[in-house]
């Protein structure tokens, strides 16, 4: 008797074989963590409907992540970002600290201690909540000026995003600070400063760079002066000069903002920009074989529901939102490269932080 696998069964078998292959169990030299802020399963589905094939489909390992904060079923980005960065729960609004405000060591700090290069890239101000969780320790998420100070002292090698106003003294007309500290001068002493994306083409032999392209937050995707993919590629070109490896966090910040605005088209546009960056990271990692890439969200935003659309026409035509805030739904996770099998199944966001830290602890 001849037996034939269905294409679906063959695909499942391929995923199982890939996720159990020896290459998945090796320790990675480099780690790239991409965070789609506010990206739930519906956001993922809408993006795939419009884009057709998404980069995340190339990842052989998948899972789901619970996101609750300490003492709260619904998390904010500060508590969830802290969990992803440190492996510990905290209260909403707190960055890089426990509920009692004890400082929590983050994966960026562990990577730096092991001699690795580090980088943070975002489509928000670099002082905003998610990137801050990977470099700062403040009791209140809106302390952007203090986050800027922590960033200058953090040792992070690559900073790409907006928010240069938080690094300028109050005497400067574009300053967003209330004191006269000139953190831009401090950054200039340790990093090459670039002020427009054109500067991304002049990073040969550069080991530390800060590209802060907007006074505050960058605008929405179609108005930004560069793509998240281009920023990711530039960050990788700098960080890969480290022989000890690197840790890079890349955030697609504004998927979340469109969710808060109940803007379905905005969600899709921002998701596609983020997924393009995922593709850039995956291409880079697959070409080298020594890099773990993880894609995850910090929470879902908007209670986004897809009610109608067309696969053939690549359109989402009817949606609903149950809230303008976050929800408690689990969020998707994808992993690729050595060590990816450690990130499969149903996990808590603290599991991700703890397992990332273990990859760098004691190297």
- Per the listing, tokens 């269905």 go with 6
Catalytic residue from among 21, 55, 77, 186: 77
Query: Could you tell me the two tokens for 363?
Result: 């190297």
CA 30 from chain center: how many Å? 15
Q: Where are the alpha helices (DSSP H) in the chain?
A: 7-19, 41-51, 77-86, 107-113, 129-133, 144-154, 183-188, 228-239, 254-260, 264-288, 349-360
- List the one residue out of 285, 249, 282, 229 whose CA is nearest residue 136: 249
Tell me how far apart the alpha carbons of residues 9 and 327 are, in angstroms, rounded to a whole number: 33
HSE-CB at 213 with a 13 A cutoff on CA atoms is 22
- List the one residue out of 84, 352, 113, 131 whose CA is nearest residue 244: 113
Strands 117-125 and 158-162: parallel
Contact 319, 50 (CB under 8 A): no
Give the three-class secondary structure for 191. coil
**Percent helix / strand / coil, the chain, rounded to 5:** 40, 20, 40
Residue 77 annotated among the catalytic residues of the structure: yes
Q: Where are the alpha helices (DSSP H) in 115-253?
A: 129-133, 144-154, 183-188, 228-239
- List the one residue out of 253, 43, 298 whose CA is nearest residue 128: 253
Give, rounded to a whole angstrom, the gap between the first and last alpha carbons of the chain.
54
- List the one residue out of 26, 15, 39 whose CA is nearest residue 272: 39
Q: Which residues are catalytic?
A: 77
């Amino acid at each position: 008797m001849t037996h034939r696998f269905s294409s679906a069964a063959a695909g499942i078998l391929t995923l199982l074989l890939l996720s159990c292959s020896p290459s998945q169990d090796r320790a990675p030299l480099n780690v790239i963590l991409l965070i789609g802020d506010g990206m739930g399963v519906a956001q993922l589905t809408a993006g795939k409907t419009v884009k057709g094939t998404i980069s995340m489909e190339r990842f052989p390992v998948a899972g789901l992540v619970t996101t609750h904060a300490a003492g709260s079923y619904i998390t904010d980005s500060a508590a969830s970002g802290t969990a992803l960065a440190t492996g510990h729960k905290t209260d909403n609004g707190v960055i890089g600290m426990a509920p009692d405000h004890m400082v929590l060591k983050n994966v960026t700090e562990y990577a730096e201690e092991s001699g690795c290069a580090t980088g943070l890239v975002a489509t928000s101000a670099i002082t905003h909540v998610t990137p801050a969780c990977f470099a700062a320790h403040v009791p209140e998420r809106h302390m952007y000026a203090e986050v800027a100070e922590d960033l200058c002292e953090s040792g992070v090698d690559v900073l790409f995003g907006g928010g240069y106003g938080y690094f300028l003294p109050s005497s400067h007309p574009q300053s967003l600070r209330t004191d006269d500290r000139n953190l831009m001068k401090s950054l200039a002493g340790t990093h090459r400063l670039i002020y427009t994306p054109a500067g991304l083409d002049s990073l040969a032999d550069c080991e530390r760079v800060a590209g802060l392209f907007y006074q505050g937050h960058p605008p929405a995707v179609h108005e930004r002066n560069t793509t998240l993919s281009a920023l990711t590629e530039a960050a990788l070109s700098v960080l890969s000069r480290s022989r000890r490896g690197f840790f890079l966090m890349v955030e697609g910040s504004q998927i979340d903002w469109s969710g808060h605005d109940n803007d379905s088209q905005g969600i899709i546009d921002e998701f596609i920009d983020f997924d393009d960056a995922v593709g850039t990271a995956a291409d880079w990692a697959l070409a080298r074989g020594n890099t773990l890439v993880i894609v995850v969200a910090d929470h879902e935003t908007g209670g986004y529901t897809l009610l109608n659309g067309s696969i053939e026409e690549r359109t989402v035509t009817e949606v609903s939102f149950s809230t303008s805030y976050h929800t408690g739904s689990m969020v998707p996770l994808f992993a690729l490269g050595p060590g990816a099998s450690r990130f499969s199944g149903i996990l808590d966001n603290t599991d991700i932080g703890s397992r990332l830290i273990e990859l760098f602890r004691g190297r």
